[in-house]
Amino acid sequence: MDVKDLNELAQSLFQKKGMLNTLHQELADNFYPERADFEYSRSLGEEFAAHLMTSYPVLVRRDLSDQVGMMLRPVGQPWFKIAPVDPEREDFESKAWLEFAANVQRRAMYDKAAMLSRALKEGDNDFTTFGQCVISSEIIWDNKKEGPHLLHRCWHLRDMVWQEDCYGSVGNRFRRWKPTCRELYRLFKDKNSPSVTKNATGNSKQQASEVDVMHMVVEADLYDMEERKKGDKPWVSIFYDSTNRHIIEAVPTYSPYYIVPRWQTVSGSQYAYSPASIVALPDARLLQAMTRTLLEAGEKIANPPMVATDEVVRSDVAIYAGGITWVDRDYDEKLGEALRPLTQDARGIPIGIDMMRDSRGMLHQAFYLNKLNFPDRAGDMTAYEVSQRVQEYIRNALPLFEPMEAEYNGQICELDFELLRRAGAFGSPYQIPKILQGAKTDFTFMSPLHDAIESQKTQKFLEMGQLLAAAMQMDQDTAAIPDAVTAFRDALHGAGIPTKWTRDPMVVEQMKEEADAQKQAQAMIESAVPASQAALNMGKASQAAAGAPAMV
């Protein structure tokens, strides 16, 4: 396919996505009003939530998105580790190098210029509300102030479409972009069309004119390009000026540029959904309607409508504090009050409040907020009871954390790791331990779910100690059954103890041999002392026996 065919494919995908934008607009109106610009352009200074009667649906969405960031990527502590897929390739040397690589990657990702925190914050809200987000990661080389660094950005779902490949993964990616001529010229210089170059060097109005650009990241075998140029790079990044029908740039790359974390997918669609907002949408609408009704009922109770007798009230009805309403003095009150409030029945308000509480509880459950708290551990709980509580927490939290770890954190870490590795951030490839060369690596994450799973190793180690103590009371030989050294290392790893805090097994073995040799030497010395003392006593006795006749 050439660029024109790919551009037509992208336009077709955007056209088919129209109804999904309508759904996203409805979800944003109820849960994420700051992002509710899928079907219209919002003016600067326009109020986001003027149409809402209550902010509770927005609050539950905000709480869940905040919890995603806090629990999956806690600030101030390492939240990911690198490990080989094959456990046979994991020894002390490989662990130390992988921890070094993870520290280098962590510093690069959280560099101020990388803007990771901003992109993830926006992505968390999109992921929670719409079930997916789009985040780009690249290395900026031409920034003279900051030097080469990572750059992360979150893109509006309105401007993104993608396809699934034959294996169900996200394949071709397309993004609509409307940069100004000045911005486009600053990025691509003379690669632009003559029209853009002319406007970029013209007056301020020409420089501010916008251009329709399509960024396409497609599989390399889909785009017509010389195989020599493609090499072994699996992707091709194309910037196409749709306004002027001009190819700005088409380069093969190792990176797909955009990652698309998806929460809950359904067969037959490349787009995902949020199980939280989709389930909560009816309750959110109902809560808005009930809040409006209760507000109107409360206003009528506090400020009831008035009933006035015709041609008796001589002035406007003043229902404000201190107000005076003038009545004809000739009116006879026996005929009824000239001015009286309309009787209101407030017995339905408590029922409405109970219904609102029920809707809020449903929203709380729909956004998993009742499953995020780790179970409390009472002081008198046994190890078995603690283990069962942890298992219950894992079962409840698994639907929330499992797709986020693999789809969200995993894609970001893998893409950044590959970018940094090819940029030489981890040093020479020859410095990688031989056991790791050519090995596939994977990322593990420090989430509550992972912590609960890993903490079971520590708990199992303590349980083994209790069982061993009970067994030794019956038979002392049972102390030889468990491999305490291996079990203790696994327990330390499960507790998150860094590898550099521990010694190499070879060093430990050498220290053990030296300690055994020292014990043997000490035992020989201690056994030699009684023998030498006995020899000395025998010598003294023989001397005394030889000198006895002379003395006589």
Higher-confidence residue of 70 and 338: namely 70
Instruction: Calculate mean pLDDT across residues 404-423.
Output: 90
Q: Give the torsion sign (CA, 93, 95, 101, 103).
A: negative
**Is the residue at 152 inside a domain?**
yes
Provide the pLDDT for residue 184. 93
Domain count, the chain: 4
Q: How confident is the model at residue 117 (pLDDT cuts 50, 70, 90)?
A: very high
Specify whether 157 is located in the same domain as 17. Answer: yes
pLDDT over 50 at 551, yes or no: no
Specify whether 39 is located in the same domain as 136. Answer: yes
Q: How far apart are CA 519 and CA 226, in angstroms?
A: 72
Specify whether 29 is located in the same domain as 122. Answer: yes
Higher-confidence residue of 524 and 295: namely 295
Q: Smallest Cα–Cα separation from 53: which of 356, 305, 366, 361?
A: 356
Q: How confident is the model at residue 469 (pLDDT cuts 50, 70, 90)?
A: confident
Strands 235-241 and 246-253: antiparallel
Provide the pLDDT for residue 384. 65
Provide the pLDDT for residue 490. 72
**Long-range CB contacts (< 8 A, 24+ apart) of 68-73?**
68/124, 68/127, 68/128, 68/404, 69/120, 69/121, 69/124, 71/372, 71/401, 71/447, 71/448, 72/401, 72/404, 72/405, 72/408, 72/409, 72/445, 72/447, 73/120, 73/409
Specify whether 435 is located in the same domain as 492. Answer: no
Instruction: Give the predicted TM-score (pTM) of the model.
Output: 0.77
**Is the residue at 282 inside a domain?**
yes
Supply the DSSP string of 440-479, one letter for each residue.
-EEEEE--HHHHHHHHHHHHHHHHHHHHHHHHHHH-GGGG
Q: How confident is the model at residue 482 (pLDDT cuts 50, 70, 90)?
A: confident
Report pLDDT digits (tens) over 64-96.
999 888 878 877 778 888 888 887 887 888 888
Residue the block writes with tokens 């075998």: 221
Higher-confidence residue of 163 and 335: namely 163
Question: Which of 88-102, 267-281, 439-453, 492-506 shows the highest mean pLDDT?
Answer: 267-281
Question: Angle formed by the axes of helices 275-302 and 348-366, to 10°?
Answer: 160
**Is the residue at 475 inside a domain?**
yes
Q: How confident is the model at residue 219 (pLDDT cuts 50, 70, 90)?
A: very high
Comparing 88-92, 99-103, 374-378, 435-439, the range with the smallest average pLDDT is: 374-378
Q: How far apart are CA 101 and CA 78, in angstroms?
A: 12
Provide the pLDDT for residue 532. 61
Q: How confident is the model at residue 282 (pLDDT cuts 50, 70, 90)?
A: very high
Specify whether 369 is located in the same domain as 510. Answer: no
Question: Angle formed by the axes of helices 383-403 and 448-474, to 10°?
Answer: 160
Instruction: Calculate mean pLDDT across residues 204-208.
Output: 90
Specify whether 85 is located in the same domain as 68. Answer: yes
Mean pLDDT of the chain: 83
Specify whether 429 is located in the same domain as 368. Answer: yes
Q: How far apart are CA 197 and CA 181, in angstroms?
A: 7
The residue among 400, 423, 446 that closes a domain is: 446
Provide the pLDDT for residue 493. 65
Specify whether 280 is located in the same domain as 380. Answer: yes
pLDDT over 90 at 6, yes or no: yes
- Tokens encoding 456: 């079971």
**Is the residue at 477 inside a domain?**
yes
**Is the residue at 219 inside a domain?**
no
Q: Smallest Cα–Cα separation from 456: which of 484, 485, 491?
A: 491
Q: How confident is the model at residue 383 (pLDDT cuts 50, 70, 90)?
A: low
Q: How confident is the model at residue 461 (pLDDT cuts 50, 70, 90)?
A: confident
Specify whether 413 is located in the same domain as 486. Answer: no
SS3 of residue 434 by DSSP: coil
**Is the residue at 277 inside a domain?**
yes
Question: Angle formed by the axes of helices 56-72 and 275-302, to 10°?
Answer: 140
Specify whether 21 is located in the same domain as 33. Answer: yes
Specify whether 296 is located in the same domain as 318. Answer: no
Q: How far apart are CA 412 and CA 152, in angstroms?
A: 10
**Is the residue at 180 inside a domain?**
no
Question: Angle formed by the axes of helices 18-31 and 56-72, to 10°?
Answer: 100
Provide the pLDDT for residue 81. 87
Specify whether 269 is located in the same domain as 332. Answer: no
**Is the residue at 318 inside a domain?**
yes
Domain encompassing residue 74: 1-164+261-302+348-446
Q: Smallest Cα–Cα separation from 274: which of 48, 37, 57, 14?
A: 57
Comparing 11-25, 278-292, 446-460, the range with the smallest average pLDDT is: 446-460
The residue among 446, 466, 492 that closes a domain is: 446
> For residues 132 and 126, is the Cβ–Cβ distance under 8 A?
yes
Half-sphere exposure of 434 (CA within 13 A, CB side): 0
pLDDT over 70 at 150, yes or no: yes
196 class by beta-carbon count within 10 Å (0-12 exposed, 13-18 middle, 19+ buried): buried
